[in-house]
Amino acid sequence: MTGIERQCGVGMVEVLIGALILAFVVTGTAVLMGDWLPTVNDSANRTQAINRNVSVMEIARFNPNQATIVSEANNMQMSSPATTFTITGVSVQDNDGEDTFSSQVQWTDPYLASQNKTRSFTLSSSVPDDDEYLGLADLVSNVPQITVSTNAGTGTVISPSAQDVLYGSSVTFEVNLQTGYYGLVVTGCNGSLAGSNYTTGTVISNCTVSSTATLDTTDTDGDGVYDWQDVCEGIDDNSDDCQVVSDYVVTPVAEPGTTISPQTDPGSGTAVRTFTLGLTAGYQSLSASGCNGSLSGNTYTTGTITGDCTVTVTATPINYSITTNAGAGSTISPTSQTAAYGSTASFTVSADAGYTISSVSGCGGQLSGSTYTTGTISGPCQVSSVAEPVAQDWDATITVDQTHYGVGGDKYSVAITFTPGSIGSCNRNNQSGDYSCTRTTSETSITASISASTGGGSGNSAICSGPTPSSVVLTPASPSQTVQVVTAKTNNNSDDCP
């Protein structure tokens, strides 16, 4: 017999209970979301308000001018679908020693149920009014300069003799032994020696680098002459068996811009020589070389002389600036350049259209074609050019403009004379009305002189005023001019001039 199977499932009651629980969950979530959204919006608005207030503070800090800041603040207004930010209450006080700022940002909270939905955030700040920043060049220039001097003991040479360095940096000197010395010791300024280079530690105050060495007094043959000075090793230098070695010659040579004293060999044999060096005008960067010597200041000391040799002194010429001044109608190229003392420089001089070069001067130079070459440069100087308009035919015109008063005739005479050149004159006698006088010339400029007088015969006019002007200069650029003559008819010997 087959048994009856029973099927089990969820009943209606369980379903209703589950739906009820789900409804509570959804409703609670909706309520929480409704409270969360205004909170997030308010937080975002406050953040926006703070950002705008901080921006106003930054602007005010570097330019404490209220009108400027209010204008900039207006550019930072912002509207969104939910609210509008407005910057108000900007206050700037540029005080002596301290600037104070204050501003307020207002917005509307759409989620508030009350009628007053306005919210605001106010920020105040104060800073010292020294709002200028130093650039790198200023920072470097404000770093103290420290002097590191030297003290070269007997048998040693330190180069250079002193150096100025910035606070907190280090510097390197070259230290060498002179012939016959050993055991070099260099101290000072917390430095260290590597080969012949001595580098100081970090320099924070003036200090001195000192060097010492020991004289080699070894005298193997007992002749009273140190081995490093021996002319004849193993033999008494004063004995007949030791003859004086060849008299080596040291030749001093001074290159341009330098001097050397003495100008002949100051010693003989193997002895060390000493020379005094100098610079002449227009030169810099003194240096010397030769005979295994070294320079300290202006003194050059050779090493032990082992053969004929030469001491050569050199220097670098100073560069000077050469500027130009091109007159109207001319061009000088390049507009400026530098040239070493004792050298020359060249420029190209050209005339503009309608002009010709009349002269070029400056720096002791000469013009050849379009090239101007200066004389020997000994200091800053300037090259200048002058150009004149090219001669061409053009019309010079004087127009006489008459104003007449009274009744009847208006006769008068006008004479116009052109100078220089022979382009003629204009004379107008016993005629009335305006007229022009034109002449053709090739002069670059002419002067027109104008005079007026009463006419001849009956119906003369009196000259009330004029001509004005009485003399004018005409050029191709300004070839014409109008002059005014005022006349009047005299009636019954009465003057009708205004």
> Residue 158: inside a domain, yes or no?
yes
Residues 408 and 422 in one domain: yes
Angle at 72 between CA 70 and CA 76, to 5 degrees: 105
429 and 481 fall within a common domain? yes
Q: Are residues 29 and 114 in the same domain?
A: yes
Same domain for 290 and 196, yes or no, is: no
- Do 282 and 326 lie in one domain? The reply is no
The per-type count for the chain, helices as H runs and strands as E runs, is 3, 35
Q: Judge if the upstream peptide bond of residue 317 is cis by omega within 30 degrees of 0.
A: no
DSSP alpha helix (H) spans, 293-336 = none
Asked, for residue 199, whether it belongs to a domain, the answer is yes
Range of the domain at 186: 141-215
* Phi, psi dihedrals of residue 78, rounded to the nearest 5°: -145, 140
Specify if 278 maps to a domain.
Answer: yes
Phi and psi at 6, nearest 5°, equal -105, 130
One-letter amino acid identity for 451?
A: S
Q: Do 283 and 340 lie in a common domain?
A: no
CA distance 100 to 92: 6
Cα 208 from Cα 201, distance rounded (Å): 12
Among 361, 389, 417, give the residue marking a domain's end: 389
CATH of the domain at 463: 2.60.40
Mark whether 54 and 90 lie in a shared domain: yes
Evaluate the omega torsion of the peptide bond into residue 262 and state whether it is cis, within 30 degrees of 0.
yes
| b (16+ CB within 10 A) / e for 14-30 | eeeeeeeeeeeeeeeee
End-to-end CA distance of the chain: 155
Sign of CA dihedral 133, 135, 140, 142: negative
Would you say residue 329 lies in a domain? Answer: yes
What's the token pair of residue 158?
Answer: 């330190």
Q: What is the pLDDT of residue 1?
A: 47
378 with 341, same domain? Answer: yes
So what's the pLDDT on residue 413?
79
Q: What is the CA radius of gyration of the chain?
A: 50
Q: Is residue 73 part of a domain?
A: yes
- What is the pLDDT tens value at each position of the chain, 498 positions in all? 455 555 556 667 777 777 777 766 666 665 555 556 666 666 777 776 677 667 777 776 666 666 666 666 666 655 555 667 677 767 777 666 677 777 777 777 776 666 667 777 676 777 665 555 555 555 555 667 889 999 999 889 998 989 988 888 899 999 999 888 999 999 999 999 999 999 999 998 899 999 999 998 888 777 777 877 776 766 666 665 565 555 789 999 999 999 999 999 988 878 899 999 999 999 999 999 999 999 999 999 999 888 899 999 999 999 999 999 999 989 999 999 999 999 999 999 999 987 889 999 999 999 999 999 999 999 999 999 999 877 778 888 888 887 777 666 557 778 888 888 667 777 776 666 777 888 888 887 888 888 888 765 566 677 778 888 888 888 888 888 888 877 777 655 455 677
Domain ends where: 66, 98, 128? 128
Whether residue 448 sits in one domain with residue 413 = yes
Phi/psi for 21 (5° steps) reads -60, -45
325 and 356 share one domain: yes
Residue 226 lies in a domain: no
**Which regions of 341-454 does DSSP assign to beta strands (E)?**
346-351, 355-361, 366-368, 371-373, 381-389, 394-405, 412-419, 425-431, 435-441, 446-454
Residue 234 carries which DSSP code? T
Q: Does the residue 3 lie in any domain? A: no
- Give yes or no: residues 313 and 383 share one domain: no
| Total domains, the chain | 5
Q: Can you give the pLDDT at residue 414?
A: 80
Boundary-marking domain end, from 389, 417, 443: 389
Is residue 229 in some structural domain?
A: no
Is 307 in the same domain as 346?
Answer: no
Strands (E), 243-308: 250-254, 258-261, 274-279, 283-289, 294-296, 299-301
The CB-based long-range contact list for 242-245 (8 Å cut-off, 24+ gap) reads 244/269, 245/269, 245/270
